[in-house]
Amino acid sequence: MIYVEGGTKTQQKLAKDLYYFCSTELDIKKKVDIDLRILDLEKAQAWTDHEGKGKFYLDIEQDLDEDQFITAFCHEMIHVIQHLRTKQVSENEAYKFEKILFDKFKQNRVNG
């Protein structure tokens, strides 16, 4: 489940759509709760914090354009799956797979 705070209504809807898309694409079967805050970040576009037992906190910069927002969300969801699979958090892997998720998400939106 995702809980969204802040941002515009468009960003909130986009975040929910992305959560369900990424959960399916990344084959997340465990219970995951994400508290997402869309706000003004000073030093990053986004970040993830893992509390344990499927509980995550994500922050995403509110001033990102739509494509940047999608990319940042996909990137952070890669970190979520890394934590869930008890893999070492890898920025290289997150950067590699964010593009794949981004492209699939955009294609799904076009094909409806």
Tell me the CATH architecture of domain 2-111. Answer: 2-Layer Sandwich (3.30)
Q: Residue ranges of the domains in the chain? A: 2-111
In which band, very low, low, confident or very high, does the pLDDT at 105 lie, cut at 50, 70 and 90?
Answer: very high
Residues in the chain: 112
Give Cβ neighbours of residue 78 (< 8 Å, ≥ 6 apart): 26, 93, 94, 97, 98, 101
Residue 112: predicted pLDDT: 67
Residue 64: predicted pLDDT: 96
pLDDT over 90, % of the chain: 81
Report pLDDT digits (tens) over 7-56.
999 999 999 999 999 999 999 988 899 999 999 998 889 999 999 889 99
Note the pTM of the prediction, 2 decimals: 0.93
